Structure 1
């Protein structure tokens, strides 16, 4: 029930802002409005709205990013206006104050608890939102990995069809043109063509596409380059979708779709192997074995292309929200560490290319689609899931914009016995005409 307390200096917003200033080491950079109508904070700043005491209770039970995310996805906490701008303001304030907030004294903690009691926010732990992942079993066991992938990618093919363009490519695009008519779908086709060129695909070349998603690269390589593709995914809905697209396009003689764990792939001798934004899901301890598998599956002088998200040297990577709601058990490392692991497996890294700014544009396009089709998303998946994705896309675009996260294409070869690489002398042909791909 909403309180009828007047919006005075003793209102909930003012009390909470004072506590937040103690915890953060400075005043709140955003404006705060509480459930009792009280409001405080800098004029013109993004407005954070606490719609109920339960939002505060979540933060008592789960302090930090995850508690805030739980309150947001349930609608107990909201941000008026541009969510991305609100997140940008908070991150800027955190950078200015340094990496370590002030240490709270026992007196500070007692004062915070007393304030929570006076505001009626103390009570049982609120239930975990239904959209939060609940995984069991050993970290990166086959069963747990399947559940983690299913949590995100089996949301439904219809959901992703609403979000993505007609290519159904769910990875960073390549914005090869500044022409206003160059669309997100064009950026995805340019990315797919760039990958095929880097791999040097020719008719009847054998390609292993690990983590094939909804088949964008598989279909492009088979149709445009005549490749023979083995497409692998752990997500059953994705596998069914790709098989149907293969059948519709008459590519059953060129494409085999396999629903299995990458650790169970037995075939080898491929001319090329790809892992497009799949390596993040492998795990830290398991990555050396993953890199060894890439080496094992490709023939001598064959090429491997890994497109993978990375984190800045001092940045945390995904964080509690991403790992709880979007990509459970994911692990990101700086680019240099990944190239080192690939080299340790016997691959020779020949070329790396950062696509960080390209991902800002890609995610921004997805976010724009989400907002434009908000009613369709909520009708299909429910408002809580739609709010998860709003927070994910707004926060993700900002993380790439600010360099806390990156994404890179890493091209490697398995050297021949005599050290031959089979690589061209120059790379200029890779980029010609991509805007028309």
Structure 2
């Protein structure tokens, strides 16, 4: 029996499409078009993962545990598969999605018995999130952020640039290094905010302080960073002290709803930034988020929100980034089409002044992160374990492809809080974003 051929045939019937991959099973058997990316099933447990959880999550679990792999470039393999799915869906809109029919279930069970892969549901990887409590309660939000951002500061230092910017860079030229692109992005935000020495700024979702520290050091402003991650808070305060910025930088370990407890007063903030944090705000809570920004800003104060989005044709019942992202990376993530986000920002009275699409920049940023991971693989595994390192490999490769293919986007949205008479304080001439 050619196990690989039997498995490939079953997979194609289940997905209603021809798969552009070559399959290699644990016994050495192979099937599929010559020269195609090779999907390697190292262990029978991979089949149990997929049988118990058909679709993206089952495949991800098998990959994370090392039962399933791609022989060659993972990005090329995923790109080839997605291209085939798109072509198949142009004929059949359901192609590429598992169709669980009784006859296919019986066929799968029979094949699993014949190849010795039948068994109980395998334990999921330890890297999966396991949140409890009410969706987007303060406690659950804190747990969701901790799952991803408290992983290891040392690990993130391996992946990110020296600014520790965990968001899309601004790659003005393809030749820019990761650090140059992130520095250009930080200048871009500061210029859009019109920062001047002595201003008060709030950085909601301040992360490891890339923008908080940069704005304080290069633009002379007083910044309150906001995070739910204690590891990030400690990291930023330590760097601020090392750079002599302790008098200009504070980090509030609070939910954005509770900023008044850290001395942020309504109507007194000159500038607010939120860089790729809005995706963690639930749909029902997003108006609370934008109302808080409007309330904190003084008349004429500006806000820049850099936020990821999903394409308009993405399924409406999946607000996050898909089962893998929601399970391993960003639980409770909510990504909206750009037009919906703009409407929610404008709703409390903020005036939209500029929207800059940066989708093509993200694959360049993520590719640099992935290269950093691969070049420091042994150290990464030592810091976070083999499973989590494989989570990140899949996350970075898949995420880059999603932006490349316009399934996800990222934009910078500039808004201002007009004064009582409608004055905005914005310059008459367009701001020179590029400097």
| TM-score range normalised by the length of the shorter chain | over 0.9
Q: Deviation per CA, 1:261-302, whole angstroms, max 9, x where unpaired?
A: 111111231001111000000111111111111111111110
2:228 is equivalent to residue 234 of structure 1: yes
> What whole-Å deviation, never above 9, does each CA across 1:25-46 have from its counterpart, x for those lacking one?
2322111011111101111111
Structure 2 contact 192–431 (Cα < 8 Å) conserved: no
TM-score normalised to the size of structure 1? Answer: 0.94
Q: Which residue of 1 aligns with 2:279?
A: 280
Assess if the C-alpha contact under 8 Å between 1:315 and 1:405 holds in 2. no
**Which of 62, 66, 83 pairs up with 1:71?**
62
Instruction: Name 2:308's counterpart in structure 1.
Output: 309
Q: 13, 16, 24: which one pairs with 1:33?
A: 24
1:393 corresponds to which of 384, 391, 396: 396
Matches within 5 A, 1:8-157: 10-98=1-89, 99-101=93-95, 103=99, 105-157=101-153
Other-structure match for 1:406? 409
Q: CA deviation at 1:315?
A: 2.3
TM-superposition CA deviations, 1:16-69 (whole Å, max 9, x none): 011012112232211101111110111111111111111000111111000000
SS of 1:176's partner is coil
Aligned mates of 1:36, 1:370 — CA distance in 2: 31
Change beyond 3 A, Cα 1:103–1:125:
closer
Q: Distance in 1 between matches of 2:72 and 2:99?
A: 32
Q: Distance in 2 between matches of 1:288 and 1:52?
A: 48
User: Is residue 375 from structure 1 mapped to residue 369 from structure 2 by the alignment?
Assistant: no
| Residue pair 1:150, 1:235 contacting (<8 A) in 2 also | yes
Unaligned runs of 5+ in 2: none
Q: Indicate yes or no: 2:288 matched with 1:289.
A: yes
C-alpha deviation, 1:427, in angstroms: 2.6
Q: CA deviation at 1:74?
A: 0.4
Residue 177 of structure 1, CA deviation:
2.9
Q: Offset of 1:252 from its aligned partner?
A: 1.3
Select the residue among 221, 241, 245 that pairs with 1:251.
245
Q: Distance in 1 between matches of 2:120 and 2:10?
A: 21
* Secondary structure of residue in 2 paired with 1:429: coil
User: Is 1:194 the counterpart of 2:188 in the alignment?
Assistant: yes
Change (3 A) 1:258 1:25: same
Give the superposition deviation at 1:333: 0.6
Contact 1:17 1:27 in 2 (8 A): no
Task: Tell me what 1:184 maps to.
Answer: 178
- The secondary structure found in structure 1 opposite 2:306 is strand
Q: CA deviation at 1:105?
A: 4.0
SS at match of 2:390: helix
* Contact 2:276/2:305, CA 8 A, preserved across alignment: yes
Contact 1:353 1:408 in 2 (8 A): yes
Q: d(CA) in 1 for partners of 2:431 and 2:345?
A: 25
Q: Deviations over 1:301-325 (max 9, x none)?
A: 1001100000101125500000000
Partners of 2:279 and 2:431 in 1: CA distance: 29
Moved more, 103-112 or 89-98: 103-112
Runs (4 or more) in structure 1 with deviation over 6 Å come to: none
Superposed CA RMSD in Å reads 1.2
CA contact (8 A) 1:174 1:190 kept: yes
Structure 2 length-normalised TM: 0.95
- Quote how far apart the aligned CAs of 1:429 are: 2.3
In 1, Cα distance between equivalents of 2:99 and 2:204: 46
8 Å CA contact retained: 2:152, 2:383: no
Question: Contact (CA 8 Å) 2:142, 2:229: kept in 1 or not?
Answer: yes
Q: Between Structure 1 and Structure 2, how many residues are aligned?
A: 421
